[in-house]
Amino acid sequence: MSTYLIKDAKVLGGDAQDVLIRDGLIAGIGAGLTAEDATVVDAAGQILLPGLVDLHTHLREPGREDAETVATGANAAALGGFTAVHAMANTDPVADTAGTVEQVWRLGQESGRCDVHPVGAVTVGLEGKRLAELGAMADSAARVRVFSDDGKCVDDAVIMRRALEYVKAFDGVVAQHAQEPRLTEGAQMNEGTVSGELGLRGWPAVAEESIIARDVLLTAHVGSRLHVCHVSTAGSVEILRWAKSKGWNVTAEVTPHHLLLTDELVRSYDPVYKVNPPLRTAADVTALREALADGTIDAVATDHAPHPSEDKDCEWAVAAMGMLGLETALSIVQETMVDTGLLDWAGVADRMSTRPADIGRLDGHGRPIAVGEPANLVLVDPGARRTVEPSELASRSRNTPYAGLVLPGRVVATFLRGEPTVIDGKLA
């Protein structure tokens, strides 16, 4: 195995130190380290973080390999600084059996760029009617611990209760896509002043908040673990804050795009901004940033949702929902949280690595940067600026809302178990 010596890196944004990587582990940390057999990486001015962990990625394989494959998604993840991602279950076929989750897991292993942890569906076919074989998926080679019908809400309270109860047997977590279906029938964007003016059917905040309120109560009732996907409203934040104050085992994530973009952008009718949950108001964005800073929201998750151009280069009503996220997530978090003073780099490491790894019960990721720990690491140049050029993305799709924008920060290198998956900003 290789040996690398990272020189003068600011560990978690702190003082510059050298970090020696040998045999897949962190072998030394300190000033003035030397190692004759090591490849030296000059990291002056750069920040070293634990490899990022995404709780919410859509890799589209099996079924929509024209949009993304596990391999192309893993490449995008590595370039974004991720060493582990959770692949959502809404593939075709749905990842609701041990066989399908093992297939996705093995494809991730073969990619070599990133650990891919499949999310298992909560219900068969995401239909919300019968529990999928959660135990079989947990016992499979993929060792599934996160279960979600993401894309759809588990809206039947009894099914949700049973799922929360059942996953306790293997320390699983139910990740809920909180969307009351009747309140959001035909919904196209955030319900508010802009939807009223544009004549687009609204997706009201209360449709998210009412499900979260119900689910935190169910979680408390059965004593299980709930994770709330892509929180998007100020009201949801208040409910989570209350649930956490009660000591209930509830966690939540926010996407980078909900930390930056607002529903005002929909005035362009450009489907690149069509996403579920929808872009909300500036007041919601402020509340989400504050909640991520104070820990009410535990993690940043990309909700990376690749779509081919024919599904986006069309009129708003028929366009697919979702946007890319893996390759821009860290830059958006830097812009919205670090450069605004809301979070330091240690906080970024917590929200984008430690906490998501803990929620997903991953052993080798989200670990401290310390001797003996797995060398899953990312080097970031916070002073760099880059213009997002869709044609240069590693994802198979191009549906990024940041095309042409200049974003702060650049992932210089990513290490997966001591081997670089990205070096000098390019795939190794």
Partner 1 sequence: MKRHLISAADLTRDDAILILDTAEELAHIAERPIKKLPTLRGRTVVNLFFEDSTRTRISFEAAAKRLSADVINFSAKGSSVSKGESLKDTALTLQAMGADAVVIRHHASGAPHRLAGSGWLRGSVVNAGDGTHEHPTQALLDAFTMRRRLAGGRGDLEGRRITLVGDVLHSRVARSNVLLLATLGAEVTLVAPPTLLPIGVETWPCTVSYDLDAPLPKSDAVMMLRVQRERMNAAFFPTEREYSRRYGLDLRRMAMLPEHAIVMHPGPMNRGMEIAAEVADSTRSTIVEQVTNGVSVRMAVLYLLLGGNEPALSAPSTTGTEEIAK
Q: Give catalytic residues, as residue numbers.
A: 303
276 a known binding residue? Answer: yes
d(CA 234, CA 425): 36
Gyration radius (Cα) of the chain, Å: 20
Tokens 């100020």 belong to which residue? 234
Q: Tell me the backbone φ, ψ of residue 103, rounded to 5 degrees.
A: -60, -50
Please identify, using beta-carbon distances, which residue of 172 and 271 lies nearer to partner 1: 271
Neighbours of 33 (CB within 10 A): 16
CB of 234 to partner 1, least distance (A): 16
- Nearest residue to 271 via CA among 303, 311, 230, 329: 311
**Per the annotation, does 230 bind a ligand?**
yes
Is 383 buried (19+), middle (13-18) or exposed (0-12) by CB count in 10 A? exposed
> Which residue, 61 or 263, has its beta carbon nearer to partner 1?
263
Phi, psi torsion values for 85, nearest 5 degrees? -135, 155
**Residue 376 assigned to a binding site:** no
* 90 assigned ligand-binding residue: yes
Smallest separation, CB 168 to partner 1 (Å): 39
56 is in an annotated binding site: yes
Measured from the CB atom, is 216 or 261 closer to partner 1? 261
Nearest-approach distance from CB 401 to partner 1, in angstroms: 16
Q: Which helix (H) or strand (E) holds 378?
A: strand 377-387
Provide, rounded to whole angstroms, the least separation between the CB of residue 397 and partner 1. 17
257 is in an annotated binding site: no
Q: Please tell me whether residue 303 adopts helix, strand or coil conformation.
A: coil
310 or 339: whose CB is closer to partner 1? 310
Q: Which residues bind partner 1 (CB under 8 A)?
A: 188, 191-202, 204, 268-270, 310, 313-318
Residue with Cβ nearer partner 1 (283 or 314): 314
DSSP code for 121: P
Question: Shortest Cβ distance from residue 274 to partner 1 (Å)?
Answer: 10
DSSP string, 206-230: HHHHHHHHHHHHHHHHHT--EEE-S
Binding residues for Zn(2+): 56, 58, 150, 177, 230, 303
Binding residues: 56, 58-60, 90, 150, 177, 230, 276, 303, 307
Binding residues for substrate: 58-60, 90, 276, 307
